[in-house]
Each structure stands twice: as C-alpha cells, then as structure tokens.
Structure 1
Amino acid sequence: MAYGEKPQTHVIDTSKASAARMYDWLLGGTENYDVDRDACVELLKIAPSSQQLARSNRDFLRRVVRFLAAEKGITQFLDHGSGLPTQDNVHEVAQRHHKDAKVVYVDDDPMVLAHARTFLDDNDNTKVLGYDMRCTGDIRAATEGFLDWDEPIAALFVSVLHCLPDTDDENDPARLIQTVARQLPAGSYMVICQLVSDDPVVRRDVTDLMAVATNGKWGRVREKHEVRRFFDGLDIENPPGLVDVIDWRPDSAPPPMHLRPTDWVEWGGLARIPG
C-alpha cells in the first residue's frame, strides 16, 4: 500500500464522539468507544432508523461501486471520507471486476488512518491519504502518478457531506463538489448522497446533537432539494435518478413505502461528468 505524504499529527481523541466510529458501531463494528456508543444511543432516540440507514447506505456503496466497475468500466476510485475499514470496501468490490483497479481513500480521522494502514498493507493498488476532503489541491497533487488524471475516475462522497457545514467560501459542500467535478476528466463519475429529512425537528435535533457530540466536526442534516443542487451541471444516471439509496438499483425488492423510515433517509445517486 502507498501512503500519503501528510504525517499523522493528531492522536485519537476518546473524549468526543467520531462520526466514523459511530458509523462503525451502527454497522455492528467494534472499533468504537463508550463516547461513540453513548452518542449513538442519543441519536437513535431522535432518529430510530439510524442503524437501518447505516446498513442500507453500506449496501448502496457496494452496489454503486460494482455498477461502476462492471458496467461502466471504471478502474480508478477516489473515496472521500472513507471511514473505518469494514466488509466489502471499495477496493475489494472494484478489484473483483478489475484486479488492477486503483483506489485512493481520503480521511482525516486518526483512527481511520491507523486501521487503514494495517488493513491495506499488502495491497499495492490502494493509497491512503490523511487529508480533510476539502483539501482538493493537496489530494490531487498526492495522487499524481498513482491515479491517471487523463482517464475517468469515480469520486465518491458517500454519507459524508452532512459532516460539512455550509460556508461562504470554497469549503462549502456544494463548492467542494463543483471543484472536484472541474478536476475530473470528462467521462468520470461522482457518487453523492447524504442524510436528509423532511422533518424540521429531526434536522434540528440531529444536527445539534452531532455538533456537540463531535465537538463541532459536523455540518447539518439537509433537505432533498439542497442535495439535488450538488448535482448541478452533472449528467445524473437514469434510471433511477436521485433517490433514497435503497431504491438505487437494488439487488432485491426494497421495502414498501409503509414499512420505510419516516424520520430520515440517505438520499442521492450517481452522475457523470459531461464531455
């Protein structure tokens, strides 16, 4: 495995929850602490479907990477906010279809980086970068010579943009997506989804809880029309378009509407860089 140039400068803080470790717990993992589990308990009080959403989101990641590799012929992946390694990571899915597929994982969580170094040690076609996903110039520079930026790349923003706050500069999530889209060669793809809710109380209470639990390392739960704007200028893959991710090319029949969560959903889709 190749590593990023940026050294790990932060120790693992076990006094505050981490979104990556909370996600790990919701998926049934063990790489988390009491503070993460306590935050998840409070989260489930506000949004009881959170564990179900975490699992359906992971299933979506597997399906969309498989689709890109098997049906679109994509052999390069740039995974922003990759989180802790679990089963069927991006490189495992992609390399089943293209054994030489290259995957770059980007995350600035010290625990994610520590586990990724161990988990990916024997895979020369993966690279781990310890950057904030908003450091687009640094990420591009660090992947030169590993990814071929003249050939299509799939940039993944799966369940991470709700961790970023709205700003008036290039760090704004929508601006981030636009910047990455401009960097990617024509024919590349972007996978974008985040947590959304039609319930203003859920949006407010989850956002407030996570902001406190993670010591401000959080953005906000958004609405569908806000996420839809992230796709401006991109060619959305139809079918199925932008949907609850359980409806994105499911392997089996998704649950009927009356059995689905009413608190929040993971919402988004796949889009191609035109040209």
Structure 2
Amino acid sequence: MSTANAAPEAAPVYIDTSKASIARVYDAFLNGKDNYEIDRLVLRQVQAVAPEAAQLAWDNREFLIRVTRFIASQTGVTQYLDCGSGLPTAENTHQVAQRIAPDSRVVYIDNDPVVLAHGRALLEENEQTHFVSADIFKPEEIVNNELVRKYLDFSQPIALFQLGTIHHYDGERSPEDIMRAYVDALPSGSYVAISHFFDPETTEHSSLARRMEEVFLHSPMGTGLFRTHPQIEAMFPGLEFVEPGISLCVDWWPDGPRIKPLDPVQYTIVGGVARKP
C-alpha cells in the first residue's frame, strides 16, 4: 500500500491515481498515509480558502466515536451498518462498539479498492466485523445484499451510519429518497446517524461554506455539497431525533466543557442521530 510519499507509479494497477478518491482525501485531511498527491491537492485547495479545513474531518471522526459510544452503551443495539467506512484510522466503529459491547456486529460498506484492501486485512481476525463491496447510494442493493443479510439480522434493531458520505453524492436521485429507502428497510428501534457539510445560512459563516463547496466541486474530487438545516433534516424521514437533534458535530454531546473558541470551519459540519419508532 502507498504511503504519503509514495509515487503514483507504486500504486496497485487497479488504483486510478489520476482521480481523487473520497476515502483517500479524507485520509489526507486526517493526516493519514494512505493517499496520493492528487488527494493532497484537494486538501491544499480547500485550505486555500479555509486554512483549518482539516478540522472538518476531525469533527466528523469524533462525532462517529461519540455516536458509536452512545449506541453501544445506551440503546442495546448491537448491529451496525456503516456506509462509506473510509480508510482505517484510530477508533473505527467496530473498535468503539466492541470495546463496550463485545458481541456487537459491524458491517462496513465501501467500494473504494484501497479501502477494501485495507479493511479486509485489518479485520481478518475479527469474526464480528465484515466488509462488503457495494455502492452506498444504492440502498435497495445494500439492504438486500447477501452478505449484509448474512451478518445482520433485519428483524432486530440496526444502527445505520451515513457519516460524511451523502454530501459527496452527485447522482440524480435525491438524498432524501436514498435515506427513505434505507429507513424503510430498518426495523423499529433502529437508529440512523448522519453527518453532513452544512451551510448555516448566517452572515458570519455561510460565505465560508459556499467557498469551500465551490472548491470541492471544482477540485479533482468533484463532490462536496454544503446543505441547509431543512435539507439535512429531510434525510431523517419519520424518525425521532435524539437530543439535541441536528447540531454542529462538535456540539453533539461533547466529552467536556468547551474552553477554546471554535474554528470557523467547525460551524460548517453538522450531525444528528434519530430513532425509528
């Protein structure tokens, strides 16, 4: 596998290093080593308009950790469907969940070849955790996937994660429709967690969100939409929000009191968790 300093020629033949990968760009944002120059270019371009842009990825990762702790410790749910898992970093969903509830089962969904290669190697010795190669924006295929059904029991509650994913969807189907298809397939008592780039529609931070969006859309990655609160709320159809509802990722049940002020970019990523009645 490549390191941050590896030449593109060192990449496996199935890796297209002429195009940025969502998973590898996030890895670059998190200061990881599994990315190429084309991915780091996206980071530099976003940092040109938002110097603290990497904080977006950190806030998203820490939101995932806190949400997983909440699910594992408070809800009794022990099944996780993590869509768009990304590259392994410290504290992945299965590590957080299984430390609290060792019988937790996690199925990661991704179709990035780098992610799949890493993930399968990482999980060879973990019988409770699995990777499935599939398109997370085709919910009907995911919920009916043979391996997903093998490892997750859809008669029992499931925690569905779409964290840092839907803002990169650029197809014709609406994100609300994609999430409705997922929600419809989940049994009562399931939880849905979403994090998303955010336009707060405020004088202070809306222009920053739209500048970053413009850079993402015209970068080698080509995706990254900053949506408004009503647009994101619509992705939780018929669900009951866990307090505090949709909030800044950094404000969703933080681990302690805030002492230092937020960076401007931290006002442009939100998350929420909701339960299916």
* TM norm structure 2: 0.87
* Counterpart contact for 1:247–1:254, Cα < 8 Å: no
Q: How far does residue 125 in structure 1 lie from its aligned partner after superposition?
A: 1.1
Give, in whole Å, the separation in 2 of the partners of 1:64 and 1:254. 19
Give, in whole Å, the separation in 2 of the partners of 1:39 and 1:202. 16
1:93 aligns with 2:99: no
Q: Within 5 A, what are the aligned runs for 1:14-25?
A: 14-25=17-28
Tell me the residue number matched to 1:165. 170
- Aligned AA (1:110): P
Task: Give the secondary-structure state (helix, strand or coil) at the position aligned to 1:144.
Answer: helix
* Counterpart contact for 1:79–1:106, Cα < 8 Å: yes
* Counterpart contact for 1:162–1:221, Cα < 8 Å: yes
Tell me the residue number matched to 1:232. 237
Q: How far does residue 12 in structure 1 lie from its aligned partner after superposition?
A: 1.3
Tell me the residue number matched to 1:222. 227
1:55 aligns with 2:58: yes
Q: Within 5 A, what are the aligned runs for 1:34-113?
A: 34-113=37-116
Q: How far does residue 201 in structure 1 lie from its aligned partner after superposition?
A: 4.2
1:30 aligns with 2:30: no
Q: How far does residue 245 in structure 1 lie from its aligned partner after superposition?
A: 1.0
Tell me the residue number matched to 1:127. 130
Task: Give the secondary-structure state (helix, strand or coil) at the position aligned to 2:103.
Answer: coil
- Aligned AA (1:130): S
Q: 1:72 to 1:174 in 2, by over 3 A?
A: same
Tell me the residue number matched to 2:246. 242
Q: 1:265 to 1:204 in 2, by over 3 A?
A: closer
Q: How far does residue 265 in structure 1 lie from its aligned partner after superposition?
A: 2.0
- Aligned AA (1:120): L
Task: Give the secondary-structure state (helix, strand or coil) at the position aligned to 1:49.
Answer: coil
- Aligned AA (1:96): R
Tell me the residue number matched to 1:209. 215
Tell me the residue number matched to 1:4. none
Q: Matched residues, percent identical?
A: 37
* Counterpart contact for 2:20–2:38, Cα < 8 Å: yes
Q: 1:113-150 CA deviation, whole Å, 9 max, x = no partner?
A: 11111111111111111111022222122211210000
Unaligned runs of 5+ in 1: 1-9
Tell me the residue number matched to 1:5. none
Tell me the residue number matched to 2:195. 193
* Counterpart contact for 2:143–2:182, Cα < 8 Å: no
* TM norm structure 1: 0.88
Q: Within 5 A, what are the aligned runs for 1:114-153?
A: 114-142=117-145, 143-153=148-158
Q: 1:219 to 1:245 in 2, by over 3 A?
A: closer
Give, in whole Å, the separation in 2 of the partners of 1:49 and 1:255. 18
- Aligned AA (2:247): V
Unaligned runs of 5+ in 2: 1-12
Q: How far does residue 82 in structure 1 lie from its aligned partner after superposition?
A: 0.8
* Counterpart contact for 1:186–1:273, Cα < 8 Å: yes
* Counterpart contact for 1:228–1:268, Cα < 8 Å: no
Tell me the residue number matched to 1:260. 262
Give, in whole Å, the separation in 1 of the partners of 2:51 and 2:240. 34
Q: 1:26-74 CA deviation, whole Å, 9 max, x = no partner?
A: 1121111111111101111122232122112111111100110111111
Q: How far does residue 92 in structure 1 lie from its aligned partner after superposition?
A: 0.5
Q: How far does residue 18 in structure 1 lie from its aligned partner after superposition?
A: 1.5
Q: 1:267 to 1:40 in 2, by over 3 A?
A: same
* Counterpart contact for 1:165–1:173, Cα < 8 Å: no
Tell me the residue number matched to 1:251. 255
Give, in whole Å, the separation in 2 of the partners of 1:55 and 1:219. 16
Task: Give the secondary-structure state (helix, strand or coil) at the position aligned to 1:185.
Answer: coil
